[in-house]
Amino acid sequence: MLYRLFKPEDFAQIYAIEELCFQPPFRFSRGYLRQIVQSAASATWIAEQDDVIAGFAVAEWAQSADVPEAYIQTIEVAPEHRRQGIGKELLRRVESSAQAAGAGSIWLHVDSENTHAIRLYETHGYHHEGREEHYYARRRAALIYRKPLRDLTATA
């Protein structure tokens, strides 16, 4: 598996993965995904095998915050490539980019019923920080997780 940063010509493939991974109301619109991957204050990592994209992850960071922090917008692996360590490696890569950009911590929302993603975060140094009711839709809550980035090697 090759890990590299996003290039504009990857967009159609990553949006196809978005459509495989999420149904509305969880799915990003094309316009929103394009906006976050093109932001100067974000990093999008791609996992690719034989010119086919298997997964991607996007983190962004606040440029003007007093205590800079990063936010994981998404991490997605195509169904046929799951459970091979790709999600874990994409997570590690977006954390490293966020740390290099000066972020002291990284946080995210995750659907309270997304047990696989919750397990990924809980086993990789993220602690539960809160819950937002109706975040995705009526009666669909998000959990908030955060990880300090000061010592990535401790939880790698």
Q: CB nearer to ligand COA: give 22 or 102.
A: 22
Quote the CA–CA distance of 108 and 141 in Å, as a whole number: 13
Nearer to ligand COA, 56 or 61 (CB): 56
Interatomic CA distance for residues 75 and 34, integer angstroms: 15
Q: How far is the CB of 66 from ligand COA (least distance, A)?
A: 26
CB of 122 to ligand COA, least distance (A): 8
* For ligand COA, the closer CB: 39 or 84: 84
Q: Which residue is nearest to ligand COA (CB)?
A: 87
Minimum distance from residue 113 beta carbon to ligand COA (Å): 10
102: helix, coil or strand? coil
Query: Do 41 and 60 contact (CB within 8 A), yes or no?
Result: yes
Name the minimum Å distance from CB 79 to ligand COA.
8
Which tokens is 62 given?
A: 């606040």
Q: Residue 11 or 102: which CB sits closer to ligand COA? A: 11
Residues lying near ligand COA in the complex (CB under 6 A): 21, 74-77, 82-88, 110, 114, 116-117, 119-120, 123
Q: What letter represents residue 20's amino acid?
A: L
Q: Within 13 Å and on the Cβ side, how many CA atoms surround 131?
A: 8
- DSSP 8-state code for residue 50: T
Minimum separation from the CB atom of position 64 to ligand COA (A): 25
Do the beta carbons of residue 94 and residue 37 sit within 8 Å? no
